[in-house]
Chain A
Amino acid sequence: MIRKLLAAFAVLCAGAIVSAHAADKIDPAADLKAFQAYFKQQFPAVPLDDFVNGPYAVNKGMRAQWESIMQFPPYDFALDAGKTLFNTPFKNGKTYASCFPHKGVGIRQDYPQFDAKTGEVVTLELAINRCRAANGEASLNYETGPMDSIVAYMAETSRGKRFDIKVPKDPRALAAYQNGKQYFYSRRGQLNFSCASCHVTAAGKRMRGDILAPALGILASFPIYRSDWGSMGTVPRRFTSCNSQVRAVALKPDDKAYRDLEYFLTYMGNGLPVAGPGTRP
């Protein structure tokens, strides 16, 4: 009997070790397949594309409130401001259109992307600030203000296009992807929560008054007007906010770790439509 128990324990241990080693293997396509399958299984009644609507996809009451809110979307002011900012020439006469493919229209689904020249992940916010620097303009705040308006406008011109994040077979790109994955699953803060604790394990469940959004498609609606903030915010703003909520010291909004996290998480939503800008409680 004891032998049988020991054998069973050894098999369990070996399984855990094999699983851990499997997590070390960098295979974005396999990760994506498993990630999306998990959420389809957890929420069989939710159409795949609807995951971009976060908590509204998994809670009827919240969806009804959201549909009412959307009669007068609170991000409309940001959209108007963003369109103006996007088309206003820099001091040198050029505009943001000069920095992006397709003049910056309908490209949200391609960000974040790996930049082979610098060997790092470039988010849309970073690309906007790089564009400004290249044209002799000062950087914008990454989290809110004019930045969220410009990103809102660029997202709106991309609505419905499918996320198509590429992880090339460049070891630096794969390392960035893996860093993002590690960040997503690592517990941090005094409350000992990972991103996955809320948005995988407890997805769809309540956290105080909130319904936790599933991680699948969670970034598709950014930037968002968040009622809790009373203003718009970009993905980096949400990351710093999440960190603070679990009592972890937030990183700089353009920190490499956040960019890698956004790279991983957006890649997990490949195939889902751009839905930004959005609203959240």
Chain B
Amino acid sequence: MKPIAIAILIALAAATPALAAGEQDFTAAYAAAAKVEQQALAMQAAWTTTEKTLKDAKKAADAKDYDHATALARQAEALAKQSIRQAEEQKTAWRYAVIR
């Protein structure tokens, strides 16, 4: 076999798992984000932005754009974490806003 053909075969072999990894990355990122968002919803602390970002991530994954989908899922997780942090802070911070 010619060296060029070998190189093409190696490149193809390397590319196939990379695509699978993209989907796997998305699945893991989405699951992590959805888990945190469930916590936020249970705390009545969720943001509409997080919900929309999760939906957009799913849409991108459905369109096989896994890089974008993964990035959106990670963004959604960050938003969900921020919403929980806000709710945790407000458990005490609200007191300083009370009219006295």
Q: Contacts A247-B47, A249-B46, A249-B47 given: A34-B100 contact, CB under 8 Å?
A: yes
User: Would you call B41 and A249 a contact (CB within 8 A)?
Assistant: yes
B49 CB to nearest A CB, Å: 5
Cβ of B86 within 8 Å of any chain A Cβ, yes or no, is: yes
Instruction: Determine, out of A97-105, A150-158, A189-197, the stretch whose residues face the partner at the interface.
Output: A189-197
Q: Is the interface of B mostly helix, strand, loop or mixed?
A: helix
Closest to B98 in A: A23
Closest to B41 in A: A249
Query: A248 to B99, alpha carbons, bound, how many Å?
Result: 24
Instruction: Determine, out of B23-31, B56-64, B87-95, the stretch whose residues face the partner at the interface.
Output: B87-95
User: Would you call B99 and A38 a contact (CB within 8 A)?
Assistant: yes
User: Would you call A247 and B49 a contact (CB within 8 A)?
Assistant: yes
Query: A106 to B48, alpha carbons, bound, how many Å?
Result: 39
Task: Tell which of A181, A190, A251, A257 touches B47, judged by Cβ atoms closer than 8 Å.
Answer: A190
User: Would you call A188 and B100 a contact (CB within 8 A)?
Assistant: no
Task: Tell which of A31, A34, A190 touches B49, judged by Cβ atoms closer than 8 Å.
Answer: A190
B82 contacts across to A, CB distance below 8 A? 190
Query: A255 to B41, alpha carbons, bound, how many Å?
Result: 13
User: Would you call A188 and B86 a contact (CB within 8 A)?
Assistant: yes
Query: A203 to B75, alpha carbons, bound, how many Å?
Result: 34
User: Would you call A20 and B95 a contact (CB within 8 A)?
Assistant: yes
Query: A20 to B92, alpha carbons, bound, how many Å?
Result: 8
B79 contacts across to A, CB distance below 8 A? 190
Cβ of B51 within 8 Å of any chain A Cβ, yes or no, is: yes
A-B contact number at CB 8 A: 70
B49 contacts across to A, CB distance below 8 A? 190, 247
Query: A251 to B42, alpha carbons, bound, how many Å?
Result: 11
For A, the interface residue count at a CB cutoff of 8 angstroms equals: 29
B67 CB to nearest A CB, Å: 25
Task: Tell which of B44, B51, B87, B97 touches A196, judged by Cβ atoms closer than 8 Å.
Answer: B97
Q: Contacts A189-B48, A247-B47, A248-B48 given: A19-B96 contact, CB under 8 Å?
A: yes
Query: A251 to B49, alpha carbons, bound, how many Å?
Result: 15
Query: A257 to B48, alpha carbons, bound, how many Å?
Result: 18
A192 contacts across to B, CB distance below 8 A? 86
Cβ of A35 within 8 Å of any chain B Cβ, yes or no, is: yes
Cβ of A200 within 8 Å of any chain B Cβ, yes or no, is: yes
Q: Mark A242-276, 1 if CB is under 8 A from B, else 0.
A: 00100111010001010000000000000000000
B residues contacting A by CB (< 8 A) are: 41, 44-49, 51, 79, 82-83, 86-87, 90, 92-100
A–B Cβ pairs within 8 angstroms, 30 of them: A19-B96, A19-B98, A20-B95, A23-B94, A23-B95, A23-B98, A23-B100, A24-B95, A31-B98, A34-B100, A38-B99, A185-B95, A186-B94, A187-B90, A187-B93, A187-B94, A188-B45, A188-B90, A189-B47, A189-B48, A190-B48, A192-B86, A247-B47, A247-B48, A248-B45, A248-B48, A249-B47, A249-B51, A251-B44, A257-B44
- Extra inter-chain contacts (15) besides given A19-B98, A190-B48, A248-B48, CB under 8 Å: A22-B100, A23-B95, A31-B98, A31-B99, A38-B99, A187-B90, A188-B86, A189-B47, A190-B49, A190-B79, A190-B82, A196-B97, A248-B47, A249-B48, A251-B44
